[in-house]
Amino acid sequence: MAGALALDQHAFDTSPDPVGETVLARTRAISDGALRAKAHAIDEGHYPLEIMRDFARVGALSAHLKSAGGNFGLAIDAMRAGARQCGSTGFLMWCHGVFGLYLDHSENCGLADRMLPPHAAGETFGGTALSNPMKSFAGIEPMALKAGRVPGGYRVTGTLPWVSHIGRGQYCGAIAQVVDASGAPSHEIMFVLRCDEPVELRQCPVFSGMEGTSTWGLRLADVRIDDADLIADPAKPFIAKIRAAFILLQLGMGLGVTEGAIDSMLEVESVLGHVNQYLDNRPDEIAGELDELAGRVAKLAETPFETSTDYLIDVLDARAQASELSLRSTQSALLHQGARGYLMSAAPQRRVREAHFVAIVTPAIKHLRSEMTRLSKVAQPAGALT
């Protein structure tokens, strides 16, 4: 497999592939082969950079970038193919993909010129630390990182509890609140945080899933960030621009985990179908819902930078539905498989935990619902009773 891929590694750059069929076929070949075989090891803590490198080589991690035609639908489908076999890897694909998105839309062209080609090619790796800032912008929690201006850059201090797809030699996109000398906040900056000295990487407690995603606590004590590493200053308008695309890309995880759950249900249909017929959420029902959702997502993926409120609500609605569908389908898959799916090495029980992650990773279902409520409200003149 690896050898065959090595031969193919430049093919996607040169051969025309307008609808991404080749990218998708190759991504599926990796997912259904090497990734499927490693899914349990990844669940136990193996960080599958070798798989990520293969994905990058076939174009699975860069389909949404301008250089590949900005095909968000293909990027989501590729992520879905990965998540179908391993939710953790689907999440890594998203982490890697959104970092690419940041650079691709940064006005700091020098930064993108330096970092984006090796990132897209899977020569370097990095993720995203935007969970806290996204929640902070929604008024859910305070900003964890604070920055102070110094000549030629900023100095940043604070702690981020869990950031995935990082390690020594890797990097992530992060946001800090800039405070002036008196401690008053002025605005936010977004930057590439290089996870080398003096940034401290701290072991996280053991989670019930996602152990193979190289997730670390980050502690920054007065770490210098050069202006050359700024993705956006100020950060807020930039986040407003990429927010829908950021969330939309996550759909690949929920769709893939659900598709994997359907696989597990069908796997036992010939032997257990006579009793499984009494279960709720049978594979054909779930497949119907999945197809309907995937169709809407494909449509939304055609205009990932649309700025209307209606569009954003549609994206949040699809994201929430993907979470709910993941929860329901993986639960059902475990019930369909019974004891064999409950083995620690079995995919159904692992997928139940993966679905929990899909439902709680920012934006969690509750955040999505609260945000859709906020976006649906009509403003009233000040001083009004609500």
Binding site for other proteins (CB under 8 A): 141-142, 144, 159, 161-162, 202-205, 217, 219, 285, 288-289, 292, 296, 310, 313-314, 316-318, 320-321, 324, 369-370, 372-373, 376, 378-386
Tokens 């990796």 belong to residue: 30
Q: Which is nearer to other proteins, 113 or 141 (CB)?
A: 141
CB 293, min distance to other proteins, A: 8
- Contact call for residues 54 and 5 (beta carbons, < 8 A): yes
- The Cα–Cα gap between 232 and 228 comes to 11
- Contact call for residues 253 and 90 (beta carbons, < 8 A): yes
CA dihedral 282, 288, 291, 293 (to 10 degrees): -90
Distance of CA 377 to the CA centre of its chain: 28
CB 337, min distance to other proteins, A: 24
Q: Which is nearer to other proteins, 224 or 374 (CB)?
A: 374
In sequence order, the 6+-apart residues with CB closer than 8 A to the CB of 339 are none
Q: Which is nearer to other proteins, 17 or 259 (CB)?
A: 259
Q: Which is nearer to other proteins, 15 or 373 (CB)?
A: 373
In sequence order, the 6+-apart residues with CB closer than 8 A to the CB of 159 are 144, 217, 218, 219, 220
Q: Which is nearer to other proteins, 120 or 312 (CB)?
A: 312
Tell me the one-letter amino acid at 66.
Answer: K
CB 324, min distance to other proteins, A: 6
Q: Helix 365-376 crosses helix 309-337 at what angle (to 10 degrees)? A: 150
CB 141, min distance to other proteins, A: 6
CB 202, min distance to other proteins, A: 6
The alpha-helical segments, DSSP class H, found in 301-343 are: 309-337, 339-342
The alpha-helical segments, DSSP class H, found in 230-308 are: 236-249, 251-267, 269-276, 283-300
CB 248, min distance to other proteins, A: 15
- The Cα–Cα gap between 151 and 146 comes to 16
Q: Which is nearer to other proteins, 234 or 295 (CB)?
A: 295
- The Cα–Cα gap between 357 and 353 comes to 6
CB 279, min distance to other proteins, A: 16
Q: Which is nearer to other proteins, 33 or 161 (CB)?
A: 161
